[in-house]
Structure 1
Amino acid sequence: MVDETLRQDGVGQPDALDRLWTPHRMAYIRGENKPSDASSGECPFCRIPGLDDEAGLVVHRGELAFVVLNLYPYAPGHLMVCPYRHIADYTETTDEEAAEIADLTRDAMRVVRSSSGAAGFNIGMNQGHIAGAGIAAHLHQHVVPRWPGDQNFMPIIGRTKTLPQLLSETRELFAKAWPA
């Protein structure tokens, strides 16, 4: 939805920018289910490995890192590759951790592509709060599958994000497709 009332700069002149409202993201922005203090032991990426795979939405466990579905996905099948070790910055990874994160990222792309026909991917790490990291205290790499037309009118006009499958079903599909 474009809101014409906000299309003005500080002196009432139109700024030529459209505003697209995405209220479904407010749970994420408000920090729901986010640790209040990184030192308190509430880090979800440290807590998840202690859960069973279904409860934690874990798709695959490696030796130094694991793959988990994003609880607030940008697109269906949005995965994250996380080291087990609680580190914030990519430069803090060991050579072995960096190599396993890269290998798991490639495997994640292959699994998602073969399971759901993803046509492309956005892959990246947001380093620090200022760069957009929702949980800056624990390194995690996003693997976001993309399809033609996946950002259609639904989230923009209908203010609805369509996820065609429950997260638990997506986790099971990807876990079964993961290479041995």
Structure 2
Amino acid sequence: MSEIPVPERAERVEGLVSDELIDAATLAGVPDEFQRLWTPHRMAYIQAGPEPLRDACPFCAAPGMSDEDALIVARGTTAFVLLNLFPYNSGHLLVCPYRHISHYDEATAEEVAEIAALTQQGMRVLRSVSRCDGFNIGMNQGHIAGAGIDGHLHQHIVPRWRADANFFPIIAKTKALPQLLGDVRRTVADAWNS
């Protein structure tokens, strides 16, 4: 049986690790080949825990805020469009009625029509500003169906690119997003009416 060769790097860190348990800070300065993705904005989601906020609906609160603070890119008569605070991809939009309803079959004909029109416009804008290759569009109806905020109807528009998915989101539960939300909001909002 041949031995597995020990990389040269192991010699540089030899002695740092003993049989005793050490904390991560001890190794913080040890260089390695890993690239780090720092996502401090995710801490709000992590600290909120698995249950959505019970007392406040973010989709009811958003229209009362500035577009920049609420990440709103477009406002219609019965519905509006905002960026997802925890996006699957850069440019992940949500189309919401102003009215607090839970299910698609509770929407009025006017709300359904405007949600559809805003979805189409969102696709056109995202295609224009991001050159995406496709979209995932849909609604998760109810907590059991995967809705993170199941009390207020919202439709997802997720732009997709060839080879935008790999093992990283599945194995590491991490998604690399190349743009900040404020920058994406500004780009999409500026292109919305052009």
TM-score calculated relative to the size of structure 1: 0.78
1:159 shift after superposition: 5.2
For 2:57, the aligned partner's letter is C
Look up the match of 1:164: 178
Give the Cα–Cα distance (whole angstroms) in 2 for the partners of residues 28 and 138 of structure 1: 22
Look up the match of 1:36: 54
Look up the match of 1:84: 98
**Which sections of structure 1, spanning at least 5 residues, go unmatched?**
1-23
Look up the match of 1:4: none
Report matched runs for 1:136-147 at 5 Å.
136-147=150-161
1:93 to 107, 112, 115: 107
For each residue in 1:63-93, what CA deviation from the matched residue of structure 2 results, as whole angstroms up to 9, or x when unmatched? 1100000011111111000000000010111
Look up the match of 1:27: 46
Q: Name the SS of the counterpart of 2:149 in structure 1.
A: coil
Q: Which moves more between the two structures, 134-143 or 159-168? A: 159-168
Structure 1 residue runs of 4+, over 3 Å off? 156-160
Give the Cα–Cα distance (whole angstroms) in 1 for the partners of residues 107 and 143 of structure 2: 19
Give the Cα–Cα distance (whole angstroms) in 2 for the partners of residues 156 and 131 of structure 1: 19
Look up the match of 1:74: 88
1:117 to 119, 128, 131: 131
Q: Does 1:46 align with 2:60?
A: yes
Look up the match of 1:9: none
For 1:169, the aligned partner's letter is D
Q: Name the SS of the counterpart of 1:82 in structure 2.
A: strand
Change (3 A) 1:129 1:29: farther
Q: Name the SS of the counterpart of 2:163 in structure 1.
A: coil
**Which sections of structure 2, spanning at least 5 residues, go unmatched?**
1-41
Change (3 A) 1:139 1:157: closer
Q: Does 1:150 align with 2:164?
A: yes
Change (3 A) 1:91 1:69: same
For 2:193, the aligned partner's letter is P
TM-score calculated relative to the size of structure 2: 0.73
Percent identical residues:
60
Q: Which has the larger radius of gyration?
A: 2
Give the Cα–Cα distance (whole angstroms) in 2 for the partners of residues 151 and 28 of structure 1: 26
